[in-house]
Amino acid sequence: MLSFWERESFTEYDFLIIGGGIVGLSTAIELKETHPHTNVAVVERGVFPSGASTRNAGFACFGSLTEVLSDLEKLPEAAVFKLVKRRWDGLQLLRTRLGDEVIDYQNHGGYELLQTESQLGALEQADRVNSLLKPLFEHDVYQNVPEKTPALGFDTNRVKGLVFNQYEAQIHTGKMMKALQRLAMARGIDLLTGTGVRNFVEDNGHVDVKLENGTVLKAGRVGICTNAFTRKLVQEANLKPGRGVVLVTKPVQGLKFKGTFHYDEGYYYFRNYGNRIIFGGGRNLDLEGETTTEFGVPDKILSRLKEDLINLILPGQSYEIEQVWSGIMAFGDTKQPVLRQQSDRVFLGVRLGGMGVAIGSLLGKELAELITQSGNN
Ligand SMILES: Cc1cc2nc3c(=O)[nH]c(=O)nc-3n(C[C@H](O)[C@H](O)[C@H](O)COP(=O)(O)OP(=O)(O)OC[C@H]3O[C@@H](n4cnc5c(N)ncnc54)[C@H](O)[C@@H]3O)c2cc1C
């Protein structure tokens, strides 16, 4: 049973955002900045965000050459350009909003490792992709730099092609999320954590949002930013969860590379964090089994990551793993996120895929605009 004071101060909001990841927090911040006299709250089921935003690898990326080529197989050129632009714009918004120092933004560039003949075929299409992206970056994005392979410590018999992207960078994921939370609180947004939303009902000009602990909050409009977990609230949402596994090593003596690295069409990715390695991927080993919202680290995937550490990433060098974890992403038929009005007062900003660090802030801005510009008051 609530007290009079609780009911007066904690249960009624103009805008209520469900999910406290990068999209939820960005949406709430945008709403409060554009509508300062409104009451805004974010409900996050975890004590801290517990999906993908605090569990990723911290790549500030917008697509490797083979990822963009694979997008071009499914979407027209104009749509691929727009998608890359949205990621890039989102990244600039994140950097301006929080500051490079705060999020530990470091631009050492990104590389894609090409290992098979068919992967090497991507090089023939680099000019096409560079021309497509020229209006955005003004310079070539993807450059073939095989001569750099030995200096980075990779075996040239295995890594047969290396594509450099000068615009790719890395961030400290934890610092970014903490800074977003602090900014949200500084703007006067309530962060309600530790209990999730069970369901919601639109009723007579507002939405009743029922929490797992039984409390009912009343909101003028609701933004759903629950990414992979959305189908618990909106069953028909067109997305599938996808688990990702990540590990971090202890500091590696004499680590030869700095930067972000991808291979096998982005299914594997590693980077330096100081002189440690953060390495993730392997979902493609069991795509069906990894279509889950359950956290966990399958042996098969961890074994493959360990093998690749020895044979590909650190040949001839020793390492120790310090920690392994998993996070849950959301995927669809294309890599475009879902941004839509679900009903009169409920709106969705979900399905961020594997590059949400970049596009997350922009999706939050777009969702806030959709929430405030739609018909009802
Ligand atoms: C292992 C891994 C590595 C990745 N690496 C990168 C990378 O290097 N670069 C990159 O750009 N992207 C990366 N990503 C993807 C990126 O992290 C995501 O795209 C992005 O964080 C999605 O943000 P979000 O806010 O939409 O979702 P989330 O961060 O998942 O936020 C959704 C939130 O909703 C909460 N929630 C769910 N249900 C409820 C409910 N009923 N009530 C209340 N709260 C609820 C969850 O607890 C969660 O905190 C990676 C993802 C993973 C899993």
Task: Kindly report the CATH number that applies to the domain delimited by 108-168+241-331.
Answer: 3.30.9.10
For the question of whether the overall pTM of this predicted structure is more than 0.95, the answer is: yes
Give residue 31 CA to ligand 1 midpoint distance, Å: 20
pLDDT reported for residue 203: 86
Query: Does the C-beta of 54 come closer than 6 Å to ligand 1?
Result: no
pLDDT reported for residue 375: 66
Atom of ligand 1 nearest to the CA of 196: 42
- Which tokens go with 242? 């996808």
Angle at 178 between CA 10 and CA 194, to 5 degrees: 40
Query: Does the C-beta of 45 come closer than 6 Å to ligand 1?
Result: yes
Cβ atoms within 10 A of the Cβ of 147, count? 9
Is 222 buried (19+), middle (13-18) or exposed (0-12) by CB count in 10 A? Answer: buried
Give residue 293 CA to ligand 1 midpoint distance, Å: 11
> Hey, whose CA ends up nearest to atom 7 of ligand 1?
59
d(CA 337, CA 83): 9
Class of the domain covering 4-54+174-238+335-373: alpha beta
pLDDT reported for residue 374: 80
Domain borders along the chain are 4-54+174-238+335-373, 108-168+241-331
> Hey, whose CA ends up nearest to atom 15 of ligand 1?
354
For each of the chain's 377 residues, which pLDDT tens digit applies? 899 999 999 999 999 999 999 999 999 999 999 999 999 999 999 999 999 999 999 999 999 999 999 999 999 999 999 999 999 999 999 999 999 999 999 999 999 999 999 999 999 999 999 999 999 999 999 999 999 999 999 999 999 999 999 999 999 999 999 999 999 999 999 999 999 999 999 988 999 999 999 999 999 999 999 999 999 999 999 999 999 999 999 999 999 999 999 999 899 999 999 999 999 999 999 999 999 999 999 999 999 999 999 999 999 899 999 999 999 999 998 889 999 999 999 999 999 999 999 999 999 999 999 999 986 55
pLDDT reported for residue 204: 84
pLDDT reported for residue 302: 98
Give residue 52 CA to ligand 1 midpoint distance, Å: 3
pLDDT reported for residue 265: 86
d(CA 224, CA 342): 9
Give residue 328 CA to ligand 1 midpoint distance, Å: 6
- Phi, psi at 122, each rounded to 5°: -60, -30
Give residue 25 CA to ligand 1 midpoint distance, Å: 11
Fold agreement (4-54+174-238+335-373, 108-168+241-331):
no
Angle at 16 between CA 14 and CA 18, to 5 degrees: 175
Rg of the Cα trace of the chain? Answer: 21
CB 133 within 8 A of CB 71: no
pLDDT reported for residue 92: 98
Atom of ligand 1 nearest to the CA of 61: 11
Among 27, 29, 11, 83, CA closest to 347: 27
Q: Which residues, including other chains, have CB under 8 Å from residue 74's CB and lie 6 or more apart? A: 333, 334
Strand partners, 165: 110, 142
d(CA 287, CA 269): 17
Query: Does the C-beta of 20 come closer than 6 Å to ligand 1?
Result: yes
Give residue 21 CA to ligand 1 midpoint distance, Å: 6
Query: Does the C-beta of 58 come closer than 6 Å to ligand 1?
Result: yes
pLDDT reported for residue 341: 97
- What would the 3-class secondary structure string for the chain be? CCCHHHHHHHCEEEEEEECCCHHHHHHHHHHHHHCCCCCEEEEECCCCCCCCCCCCCCEECCCCHHHHHHHHHHCCHHHHHHHHHHHHHHHHHHHHHHCHHHHCCECCCEEEEECCHHHHHHHHHHHHHHHHHHHHHCCCCEEECHHHCHHHCCCCCCCCEEEEECCCEECCHHHHHHHHHHHHHHCCCEEEECCCEEEEEEECCEEEEEECCCCEEEEEEEEECCHHHHHHCCCCCCCEEEEEEEEEECCCCCCCCCCEEEECCCCEEEEEECCEEEEEECHHHHCCCCCCCCCCCCHHHHHHHHHHHHHHHCCCCCCCEEEEEEEEEEECCCCCCEEEEEECCEEEEECCCCCHHHHHHHHHHHHHHHHHHCCCC
**Cα torsion through 19, 20, 25, 27, rounded to 10:** 0
> Hey, whose CA ends up nearest to atom 20 of ligand 1?
356
